[in-house]
Copies of this chain bind each other. A is one copy, B any other.
């Protein structure tokens, strides 16, 4: 394997000079630059980033830890991260933590050991103190994270309460007052936010909160299917169901349809996320669009700023992205 040493020898210049042309330093005589390039070709030189990393203490690698790549929400976000990363010359380690704290910890440890320049951690499960330790050792950006009161972390979130209000308002405009909710897993911060926003909406409209209208799923279509059936079996079933993600919403559609209900004539269904498949359900799903790709790019931009030390006092430490409603066919006027 040819090294810059070989290049230097063949080019008849010194190590330092080769290194300089490699790093685009302009303090190299054009003639020498030429010679170096020729020599690189001649000896078949390949730059070794590992050596560079050891010396400079920067690897140009970052870690992205997501709950699950199988959940269609995350690939798009991951894509946003990757595209933005490539623009900055960064390569990303993609890691699934399966919503498992141990796995999350293990991946962080591995990434740290590999000397990543930074980590983007989505839906962090580690507790405050551990997160602080990570932040001590590398640049850290949190996504979909609960608020840290003390403003200690860099975080980018989507505006859950605004998104829920969007959906609930639209249901309200369509005359719905009996609105059920299929929440996500309640350990999750954003699930709590969404449920809170749901309750607050009800309050603001002087609608009564019915505990039996709130059920908790696990983001899978199967749970949506099962819970929707359960909801529709209530003595006084809802006229609309709001699911905390599209997978569950689509499952819910399937569930109520097998019971013989028509959507949206008999029951309205609204989702959250706007995954591609929500176009394809029958009827097409009305849902809250989350700016997934943008969340990814924003995460990376923020991380990049941290890495480059532009994260001074005045730098934005917190970004909250807005959602918006996508009106399709699954919501109708109340009967």
Q: How far is the CA of A113 from the CA of B137 in the complex (A)?
A: 25
Chain B residues lying within 8 Å of A95, measured Cβ to Cβ, are: 82, 91
Q: Given A254-B280, A257-B282, A282-B257, do A91 and B70 touch, yes or no (CB 8 Å)?
A: no
- Helix, strand, loop or mixed for chain A's interface? helix
Instruction: Give this chain's copy count.
Output: 2
**Partner among B70, B79, B279, B282 whose Cβ is within 8 Å of the Cβ of A79:** B70
Q: Given A46-B113, A221-B279, do A96 and B69 touch, yes or no (CB 8 Å)?
A: no
Chain B residues lying within 8 Å of A257, measured Cβ to Cβ, are: 282
A113-B82 in contact (CB<8A): no
Q: Given A221-B280, A282-B281, do A79 and B54 touch, yes or no (CB 8 Å)?
A: no
Q: Say which size band chain A's interface belongs to.
A: 35 or more
Q: Given A70-B75, A96-B82, A282-B257, do A54 and B46 touch, yes or no (CB 8 Å)?
A: no
Q: Given A110-B91, A277-B277, A280-B254, do A79 and B96 touch, yes or no (CB 8 Å)?
A: yes
A76 within 8 Å of B (CB atoms): yes
Q: How far is the CA of A96 from the CA of B94 in the complex (A)?
A: 12
B115-A48 in contact (CB<8A): yes
Q: How far is the CA of A69 from the CA of B59 in the complex (A)?
A: 24
A92 within 8 Å of B (CB atoms): yes
A171 within 8 Å of B (CB atoms): no
Q: Which residues of chain A from 88 to 106 have a CB within 8 Å of any chain B CB?
A: 91-96
Chain B residues lying within 8 Å of A50, measured Cβ to Cβ, are: 50, 53-54, 59, 114-115
Chain B residues lying within 8 Å of A78, measured Cβ to Cβ, are: 69, 94
Expressed in whole angstroms, the minimum distance between the Cβ of A302 and any Cβ of chain B is 21
- CB-based nearest B residue for A115: B50
Chain B residues lying within 8 Å of A51, measured Cβ to Cβ, are: 54
Q: How far is the CA of A44 from the CA of B93 in the complex (A)?
A: 25
**Partner among B59, B70, B221, B279 whose Cβ is within 8 Å of the Cβ of A76:** B70
Chain B residues lying within 8 Å of A54, measured Cβ to Cβ, are: 48, 50-51, 54
A163 within 8 Å of B (CB atoms): no
**Partner among B49, B91, B114, B251 whose Cβ is within 8 Å of the Cβ of A49:** B114
Which of A93, A221, A277: most chain B CB closer than 10 A?
Answer: A277
- CB-based nearest B residue for A137: B46
A13 within 8 Å of B (CB atoms): no
Q: Given A79-B69, A91-B93, do A49 and B115 touch, yes or no (CB 8 Å)?
A: yes
- CB-based nearest B residue for A72: B72
A93-B92 in contact (CB<8A): yes
- 23 A-B pairs (CB sep. < 8 Å): A46-B112, A49-B113, A50-B54, A54-B54, A59-B114, A69-B75, A69-B78, A69-B79, A70-B76, A70-B276, A72-B75, A78-B94, A82-B96, A91-B93, A92-B93, A93-B94, A221-B279, A221-B280, A250-B277, A257-B282, A277-B280, A281-B282, A282-B282
Interface pairs A-B: 3 shortest CB-CB:
A94-B94, A282-B282, A69-B75
User: Beyond A47-B113, A92-B93: 7 further Cβ-contacts under 8 Å?
Assistant: A49-B115, A75-B75, A91-B93, A91-B95, A93-B93, A93-B94, A277-B280
